[in-house]
Structure 1
Amino acid sequence: MNAIFTDASFQNMTNVANKYGVSTNAVTDLTYCLMGSNGSMAQFNIAELGGGGQWMQGGMTMVGDMFNNNLKYLVDGLCVDLSNLIHQGAIQYKPLPKTANSQGGFSGNWWGDLGFPNSTGSQNDTSYAIFNNIHRLAIQQNGKVTIFDTLDHNIGGVGQQQGGNYSVSFTSQYGNVNLNSLPIISGENKQQQPEVFHNNDLQNNVVETSVAPIMEAPVQPVNNNNFNNNNNSAFEEDIFGKIEKLAGLKDKGILSVEEFENKKIDLLSRL
C-alpha cells in the first residue's frame, strides 16, 4: 500500500501536473517512483507517459518510444521539477497513523514521529529506518531505539556488519557511514557524544575536555540484495553514460545516425 502525501505536497504535485498538461494521477505515480531514491532517479511504467521508462538526475531520460523527443522533454521536465520539490522538502509523506495496542491505548511506529521512511529493514536483532528527506536514521536493537542525524549523507545501501555496536552497516555517496561520527538525536547512547566547549567557557576560565569518539576499523559488509541493487544502479549509470557520449559524437557528425542507433540498442540490451 502506497504512503499518503501531505495536503501541501499534493497541491504542489497538482501544480506540476497543470504546468505540463498531464493528469494528477500520472504525476503522483511518478513522484512515488522518485521518492524511493530521494529524487535522484525513477523507473516507471505509466501509460500516460508512454509506458515504461527511466529518468536519472543529470540528463538521462529514456521512454518506451525512444524516437519521441517531445515525450522525452515532457518526462524530463516533470522529473526535474518533482526532484527539486523533493530536495526542498516540499513533497513529503504524512506521518503513519497510530495503531491500537494490546493495552487499549495507542502507539506509533517504533521510530516515533519521524514520519514515513525512505526504506526500512531488519537483520538479526537490529531494525533500521532511513529518512533521507529529514536527514535521520533510526536503529532499534534489543528493544532500544537510537536516532542519528545523518548530516549530508544520502544513505542508499545497507549491509551486514561483523562486529561493532550494530549488526548492520550503511553506505552513502561518500562510502561507508561511520555511525560513531554521527550526532545522536535521542537514545541511551546520547551521552556518549563528544562535549564541545565554547568561547564563553574560556572567558570563565572553564575548559571542558572534549572526548573523541571511538573509531572502529571499517568492516567490509557482506553483499546482499540491497548492495546488489546499488551495483545494478551503478551499472545502469555506466550504460547510460556511454549512450550519452555516443549521442555527443553523433551530434558532432563523428557517428552516423544508423551507427549511433545500432550501438545504443546493443548497450540497452545489456541492462
Structure 2
Amino acid sequence: MTGYWGEVDALHTFCEPNYASSAFVAEFWNSLGSAVYCFAALSGLVSTAGMVWQVRCGWWALLLTGLGSITFHGTMRYNAELLDELPMLQLIACATLAADGAHPWTRTPRGRALLLGGMAASLGGLTAAYLYTRTFYLFVTGFTLSVLLLFALGLAMESCSPAVGYCRVRAIGCIALGRIAWEIEERFCAAMPTLWPLHNVLGAGGLYGGTQQRGTSFLPKPLAIRANIHHEAVTRAAECPMKPAAVVSTEPPEGCLRGHGDASCGVSHCRISSRDMGHEGDLSKRSPPGSARSGSAQLLKA
C-alpha cells in the first residue's frame, strides 16, 4: 500500500488500518497513543533532575523510543521502524547501567564484568543480527528476554522502604498487562480486526509502569566510584530508617538536593549530584550515619 509517506515497507504492521483515520498519518491512533511514552519519560526526567547520567539516560532513551514510535506508526516505513526499535535496546542498556555498582551482584570486578560485558555482547549481537536478517520476531524475542533479565535484577534487590517494593511490583504488573494486550492483538488480528485498540493498552501500561519507577531508581553511582566505597554508602544509608513521604531535612547539605517524593508510591529520597558522588574519598567522613545525605538516599540495602 502506498500512502502520503510512500509505500508501507515496515517489517511489521498492526491491526489498525493504514490511512483510515487520516490521509497524512498511516496509523493515526497508534501514533497518538505512542505519545504516552514521552509523557512517562518527561515525568522521569523531572523527578531525577540532578542525578547522575546513569540514572537519567534511561529516561532519555524512553523519550527517544516514544518519539520514534510516533514517527513509525505515523509513516509505517522501515527506517522509521528502526527509530522506534533501536532506542528500545538502548533503554535496556541504560537500565542495566543503572544497576552497575548498586546491585549486590556487581560489587566484585568479576560480577561487574559479567553484567556490563554480557549486556554489551548480547545487545550488540541482537542489533547486528536484526539489522542483517530483518526478522521482526528476532527483535521481539531478544527484547522480551532482556526485559525478563531486568525484572530478575530488580527482584534480587532488597529495598529499605516497602514502598519501593510496591512500586516495583506494580510496574512489572502494568508492563506485563500491556504485553498480554499486545499479544492478543497480534494473534487474533486476522480474525477480529476490531481488536486494534488493544495496541494502545501496551502504551498505557508502559506509561503507568514507567511513572511507578520515578522514586525507585537505583542509588546513583558514577563509574569513577569504586564498588567498595559505594557499598559503604549504601550500608550507611540502610542503617537509618526512611519514613515514607517525609522530607529528611529542610536545609539539605551541600551537594545533596532535596528529592521530590513520589506521591503514588510515598517515596521521598535525596538526589545525589554527580559533583557530590564524583569523588572517591571516604564517604563516611561526609555522610555520617543518620545524616540527611545518607538517610534520604537509601533506596537500596546491601
What TM-score results when the alignment is normalised by the length of structure 2? Answer: 0.27
Indicate the structure with greater strand content: 1
Which entry has the higher C-alpha Rg, 1 or 2?
1
Indicate the structure with greater helix content: 2
What TM-score results when the alignment is normalised by the length of structure 1? Answer: 0.29
Bigger relative contact order, structure 1 or 2, given CA contacts below 8 A and separation 6+? 2
